């Protein structure tokens, strides 16, 4: 029998963290060996049968848990303020990383990639774990060759901390690679309310919506003469991300260096 991949989850009390704990525990090729969340120090476990049923160590200190359980892979679903230090800690302890937290800057990604090579470990930074979202990004990238006028609207729940989403940024980057240099549009455009036309990633405008009731949604709208094309993806339940999370854990476990985007592991 092949050795199971030993996994810990950081941000384990969050919605994505909890789903990840369940998904890893249920997979026969993975072994859930611990969970980390800064809120564990004050968490009332007596009212949390879901966590207690996992029968694993819980900690508010990542480095201490790594030393205790010796994981192969860390999955991070924390927040933009914590993810960089979490990944540094894991890589320095020779733990491969799967990062679902968005907000890492380019300079931080460069540092983490260097650290991964130094420690002969891998790091997968995944803006979106939904297979459908990855396909949306690839389809949008292809469409951009024929429809150079495009904008993105992304819609998320009102507890999401960063805007725009990592998925929207990644989509815009992929589209920009296909656009080349186009002349600027509508030079006379005037925003009566600053910011109402969205933010720019290269030649692509992104508009962010944050409202209760949403999970994660994005539409890429292309405009042409006499026609438009809309490519949209909707995530209605976080469980839909879990097949992607599990796949990435298994694919990155024996790789070295940085992988950015799940399409590079499919």
Q: 80: helix, coil or strand?
A: coil
Beta bridge partners of 234: 217
Whether residue 250 lies in the annotated active site: no
CA–CA distance, 223 with 184 (Å, rounded to integer): 15
Is 156 assigned a catalytic role?
yes
Q: Output the 3-class SS for 53-70.
A: CCCCCEECCHHHHHHHHC
- 78 φ, ψ to 5°? -105, -110
From 88, 160, 250, 251, active-site residue? 160
Q: Which of 156, 170, 207, 217 is catalytic?
A: 156
Encoded tokens for 17: 């963290």
Residue 133 has phi, psi (to 5 degrees) of: -70, -40
State whether the Cα torsion 250-256-259-263 is positive or negative: negative
Q: At what angle do helices 106-118 and 83-92 cross, to 10 degrees?
A: 10
DSSP for residue 164: S
E strands present in 81-226? 96-99, 122-125, 149-156, 199-201, 204-210, 216-224
How do strand 216-224 and strand 149-156 relate by DSSP bridges? antiparallel
Angle of helix 83-92 relative to helix 62-69, nearest 10 degrees? 30
Q: Name the residues annotated as catalytic.
A: 156, 160
């Amino acid at each position: 029998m092949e050795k199971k991949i030993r996994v810990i989850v950081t941000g384990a009390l969050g919605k994505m963290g909890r789903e990840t704990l369940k998904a890893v525990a249920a997979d026969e090729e993975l072994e859930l060996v611990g969970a980390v969340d800064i809120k564990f120090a004050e968490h009332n476990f007596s009212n949390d049968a879901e966590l207690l049923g996992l029968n694993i160590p819980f900690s508010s200190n990542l480095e201490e848990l790594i030393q205790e359980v010796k994981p192969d892979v860390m999955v991070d679903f924390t927040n933009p303020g914590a993810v960089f230090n979490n990944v540094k800690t894991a890589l320095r302890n020779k733990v491969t990383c799967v990062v679902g937290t968005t907000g890492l800057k380019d300079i931080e990604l460069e540092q983490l990639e260097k650290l991964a090579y130094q420690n002969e470990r891998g790091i997968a930074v995944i803006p979106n774990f939904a297979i459908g979202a990855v396909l949306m990004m690839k389809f949008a990238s292809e469409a951009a060759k024929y429809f150079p006028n495009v904008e993105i609207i992304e819609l998320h729940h009102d507890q999401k901390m960063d805007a725009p989403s990592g998925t929207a940024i990644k989509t815009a980057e992929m589209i920009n690679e296909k656009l080349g240099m186009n002349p600027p549009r509508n030079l006379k455009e005037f925003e009566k309310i600053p910011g109402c036309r969205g933010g720019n990633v290269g030649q692509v405008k992104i508009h962010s919506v944050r409202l209760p009731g949403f999970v994660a949604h994005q539409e890429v709208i292309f405009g042409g003469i006499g026609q438009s094309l809309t490519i949209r993806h909707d995530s209605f339940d976080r469980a839909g991300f879990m097949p992607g999370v599990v796949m990435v854990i298994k694919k990155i476990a024996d790789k070295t260096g940085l992988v950015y985007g799940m399409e590079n592991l499919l």
